Amino acid sequence: MEQKAGMPPTVERFVCPGKGNGLRATARISRGQLVTSAEPLASCVSGKRAREVCHHCFTRQETLLRCSQCKMARYCNAACQKQAWSGHKRECKCLRRLLPRIPTDSVRLAARLRFALLNPPKTVGNELYTLEEHESNLNLMSEQKKQGLSQLASMLELYVQQEEDSDLTQEVTSALPPSCRDPLSLIAKVTCNCFTISDGELQEVGVGLYSSLSLLNHDCRPNCVMVFEGERLQLRAVQDICPEDELTISYIETLSLTEERQTQLQEQYHFVCHCQRCSSKKEEGFMLSGEEEKWQQLKVALPRLEGLKTESNWPALLESCSNLLSAAGAELPDENLYKLRVTDMALDAAVQLGQWEEALRYGMKTLPAYRLFYPDPHPVHGVQLMRVGKLQHYLEHLEDALDTFKEAFTIMRMTHGDGHPLTSDLRMKMEECCLEMSGRH
């Protein structure tokens, strides 16, 4: 059994029957407790967020300074740019060479990983799980998926070629673990083991590789959740955990049908989930409640609505959602999964268009379903309550806003912890409500 300085003494690596490596508790961990936190071995801002997020601290900003050389990296200020330079220096040359093309996130992350291994931080030896041990799952992939990864591997070679054409080639090759010297293997390891880095509102801002935390296995009702502060990952318990219990997270969005979850896990992570939630399917009755004919129309429309959302075509999205929900009628329960997804998109569109009353109406409709489908504290539920509370506050429904913020706070103290910026923001909102209410009397 391994126990090293990189992880707290409450956590150890073990071999989990039927799952391979995993992490488990060595002591009792209470719900809401921070299990561990970690900085990534390598990380990068998502290409689609490259213009709005600082490439050093991962903070979203209205205006950012742009790297004058590669024209891609952006920073809050000169201090962030200076601190980022040691990690950006090699990448900058590679990006300049490829302009105007920009490599995909996984290629940029794999390259940053290679560069990070040339100046390894002192703590790498403390990891419970080395890069060498990470699974690539190449043997489990379909030919089509392997072909897609081969194209990414070729792009990686082309991308790092100039930087490694220099006298560094030997240095790079010898510094890399043997199984990571092959670009295909490295790309496969990165795509199977990287985590999406999200901001306080749970919007994707980047991707990162967190060595020891790649050991965490999946469960569709996990006992831990991950939240981020910048690129620092925090793993928090959302259930009471006993010594020797396995620590689990969900690799995917848990608010979906068993069949959808199984398909996504099989395609993306190459395993079949046998968790209790998948075996019992007890929520399916709620998720598919109501007349099938009614919810099938919503299900069929979802890809088109997703397309409108991706294009940020908010007026068309709101109109489509509104028409679909009217056609489905009030008889279709709000807990129906497809009605919930369409209502959530209507909420997004109404917020984007500044139609606050309408946004609040849609937001309120989602809350009973969120309470039902997130029995444990979950960041998604906390953030949804916070959105609805902000709408109530803005529209001066102060008593309602305070109640909603309190419900969000109960969840987010567990999922984000007292010190997280989002929890502090929530505390401030509650104080504002109280002050405004006392000002009325």
Would 218 be classed as within a structural domain?
Answer: yes
Residues 304 and 415 in one domain: yes
List Cβ neighbours of 121 (8 Å cut-off, separation of 6 or more): none
Give the CA dihedral 347, 349, 354, 356, nearest 10 degrees.
-20
Q: Look at residue 299 and tell me if it is in a domain.
A: yes
Indicate if 301 and 400 belong to the same structural domain. Answer: yes
- Whether residue 242 is found in the same domain as residue 97: no
Q: Residue 208: what are its φ and ψ, rounded to 5°?
A: -150, 160
pLDDT of res. 1? 34
Give the integer Cα–Cα distance in Å for 36 and 226.
10
**Do both 258 and 380 map to the same domain?**
no
Look at residue 181 in the predicted model and tell me its pLDDT: 82
Total domains, the chain: 3
CA atoms within 13 A on the CB side of 2: 18
297 lies in the same domain as 426: yes
Residue 23 shares a structural domain with residue 115: no
What's the domain range around 289?
285-439
Residue of 258, 253, 254, 252 lying closest to 284 (CA atoms): 258
Question: What's the confidence (pLDDT) of residue 116?
Answer: 86
How far apart are the C-alpha atoms of 98 and 219, rounded to whole Å?
A: 40
DSSP-assigned states of every residue in 247-275: PEE-SS-SSS-HHHHHHHHHHHH------
List the CATH number of the domain containing 430.
1.25.40.10
Per-residue pLDDT for the chain (441 aa), expressed as one digit of tens each?
Answer: 333 446 788 999 999 888 889 999 999 999 999 999 999 999 999 999 999 999 999 999 989 999 999 999 999 999 999 999 998 999 999 999 888 889 999 999 999 998 888 776 654 456 777 888 888 888 889 999 999 999 999 999 999 886 655 545 555 566 667 767 899 999 999 999 999 999 988 999 999 999 899 999 999 999 999 999 999 999 999 999 999 999 999 999 999 999 999 999 999 999 999 999 999 988 999 999 999 999 999 999 999 999 999 999 999 999 999 999 999 998 999 999 999 999 999 999 999 999 999 999 999 999 999 999 999 999 999 999 999 999 999 999 999 999 999 999 999 999 999 999 999 999 999 999 999 999 876
Q: In this predicted structure, what is the pLDDT of residue 343?
A: 98
Please tell me the predicted confidence (pLDDT) of residue 174: 67
Residues 388 and 244 in one domain: no
Q: For the sheet with 204-209, list strands across it.
A: 42-45, 204-209, 195-198
Residue given tokens 């150890």 in the structure block: 12
Residue 219 lies inside a defined structural domain of this protein: yes
| Confidence at residue 78, expressed as pLDDT on a 0 to 100 scale | 95
Examine residue 143 and state whether it is found in any structural domain, yes or no.
yes
The 8-class DSSP code of residue 55 comes to: T
With beta carbons less than 8 A apart as the criterion, state whether 98 and 91 touch: no
Q: What pLDDT is attached to residue 284? A: 93
Q: Are residues 164 and 47 in the same domain?
A: yes
Q: Are 58 and 206 in contact (CB under 8 A)?
A: yes
Q: Identify whether 200 is part of a domain.
A: no
Angstrom CA distances, 219 to 9, 191, 232, 263, 279, stand at: 23, 19, 22, 14, 12
Residue 177 neighbours by CB distance under 10 Å: 15
Do the Cβ atoms of 215 and 129 come closer than 8 Å?
yes
Domain end (from 193, 225, 241)? 193
Domain end marker among 268, 301, 334:
268
Q: Which of 193, 225, 257 is the last residue of a domain?
A: 193
Q: Looking at the structure, do residues 16 and 47 belong to the same domain, yes or no?
A: no
Statement to judge: residues 73 and 121 lie in one domain:
yes
Strands 248-249 and 217-218: parallel
20's enclosing H/E stretch is strand 20-25
- Does residue 229 sit within a domain? yes
DSSP bridge pairs for 234: 37, 227
Residue type for position 163: E
Q: What is the CATH number of the domain that holds 254?
A: 2.170.270.10
- 248 token code pair: 């689990």
Q: Does residue 279 form part of some domain?
A: no
| Displacement of CA 273 from its chain's centroid (Å) | 20
Of 94, 71, 58, 99, which Cα lies nearest the Cα of 199?
58
Query: Distance between CA 328 and CA 76 in Å, rounded?
Result: 46
Domain identity same for 85 and 175:
yes
Q: What CATH number does the domain containing 131 carry?
A: 1.10.220.160
Closest listed residue to residue 305, CA positions, set 334, 339, 264, 330: 339
- In this prediction, residue 205 carries a pLDDT of 97
In a domain, 273, yes or no: no
For residues 34 and 65, state if they share a domain: no
CA distance 126 to 212: 9
**12: phi > 0 → left, psi -120 to 50 → alpha, else beta; which?**
beta
Contact 68, 116 (CB under 8 A): no
pLDDT of 439: 82
